[in-house]
Amino acid sequence: MATLALARALNLGLRRALESDPRVVIMGEDVGKLGGVFRVTDGLQRDFGEDRVMDTPLAESGIVGTAIGMALRGLRPICEIQFDGFVFPAYDQIVNQLAKLHYRSRGTLTVPLVIRIPFGGGIGAVEHHSESPEALFAHIPGLKVVACGNAADAYTMIQQAVACDDPVIFFEPKRRYWERAEVDTDAPLDQAFPLTAARVVREGRDVTLLAYGPSVKLALDAAAAAAEEGREIEVIDVRSLSPLDFHTISSSVSRTGRCVVVHEAPVFLGFGAELAARITESCFYRLEAPVLRVGGFSIPYPPSRLEEHYLPDVDKILDAVDRTFSY
């Protein structure tokens, strides 16, 4: 076991992927000599060369379009999008090409491409640097969409994503890059927790709290605070938004009878809406209260001095938990 920051765990996971498969290449803005804005790719170009860790022009559509061609020719590219809001110039390539090529070719073509996207707020940045666009990608058939929430998952999930033959949108919680956790860097990848499975990270009996990415730690903090008042919250890290491990979620909600979903994206048409709808359909006769959602307001991301009012926090989560007991 090693105690690693999430960014360092990603770095080691990428290093392992490069070592394990000569077809793996990394490309993006400043990923080489600089090592990435968040230093996630630090040292990789030095050790693997400019042919495998490539600095690109500032052109997200070109980065992703080129990577699609490389994947079709047998490589396994990993694209870094510097900040979440920068991905939209490449949205056309992702939605109309990357997501559809396997289906369009009747399974003849595979596009093993990973697109890494640091997402979410909490770092004092401005709009285009603090977005949460995960629902826009989870809505598109043909893409796998996952989000790591801690260093241990980051280390294994990035390797699993690279090894996957499907295109993977890999969301990284930038506000958690410097938080540390124990990581087993010696565990075989084939024995790791499945990439597309949700994980119960804290057991409880009173309420199910669903979170992913940057909100997982927040959910755990809320559960710890609630425990001091005698209320047991079960926290589930959703991890995979598409495909969704709904069995783990429904099993928990059917037992607790109450559910709160938390994410940083706006509540309106956010990913929590899909979770709430499916839980209501499948667990209706087990629910003691409506599924409640905690998230951002339906506004563009605010200036940094206002983001603490925009983002979910422990008090907002606990307020939602209390409301589930008022019905």
Q: Would you please indicate which residues are annotated as catalytic (active-site) residues?
A: 129
How far apart CA 38 and CA 53 sit, in angstroms, is 16
The single residue listed with the structure tokens 């699609």 is 68
How far apart CA 114 and CA 71 sit, in angstroms, is 10
Closest CA relative to residue 6, chosen from 120, 197, 165, 154: 154
Q: What is the DSSP string of 244-274?
A: T-HHHHHHHHHHHS-EEEEEEEESTTSHHHH
Phi–psi pair at 110, nearest 5 degrees: -120, 150
Amino acid at 46: R
3-state helix, strand, coil in the chain (%, to 5): 40, 20, 40
The single residue listed with the structure tokens 């294994």 is 156
Q: What is the largest CA-CA distance in the chain?
A: 60
Closest CA relative to residue 175, chosen from 235, 222, 125, 223: 125
Helix (H) or strand (E) holding 224: helix 215-227
